[in-house]
Structure 1
């Protein structure tokens, strides 16, 4: 896997870590990173981070009484442990200067 892809995982985690304890809507995350990454790549890495347990995903209704939904994401305690260097994952390289 390309280093740019691996660093996107870190960037998403770092973003969610900085806004913790808030959850962030999927579209907001896409807007933050779409200048340098495709929407499909961003969604793929969000799904990876959810599958690994580093972030949680929750589907919410956009408006009461409608069927329109969106996903919100929040870093988990496991994700915080990764960002703080308590655990490591070779698939998510944390920069040395962090």
Structure 2
């Protein structure tokens, strides 16, 4: 997401964290409804697909930090996050392919 031109000075880190928690809660509620209606095998694949999206979100945010951030430690953690989530995402994608999702 391109943040150029956005005045982020008025949005606190707490505000960003709360927005993230609110979005996560909404995702969890949608996922819960779909998962409750799913059979066990479908539940597994649905879970994996939701986790793929979760890991992709972490990758996207970390890539944005690498592009726009300035702190060396934050960039190191962002790269570590990209590496770990890329691996986890690939494992989940293989699981989905194997289980016909």
TM above 0.5: no
User: How does the TM-score come out when normalised to structure 1?
Assistant: 0.27
Q: Which has the higher strand share?
A: 1
Tell me which of the two structures has the higher relative contact order, counting C-alpha pairs closer than 8 angstroms and 6 or more residues apart.
1
- Give the greater-gyration-radius structure (CA): 2
TM-score with structure 2 setting the length = 0.27
Task: Give the structure with the larger helix fraction.
Answer: 2
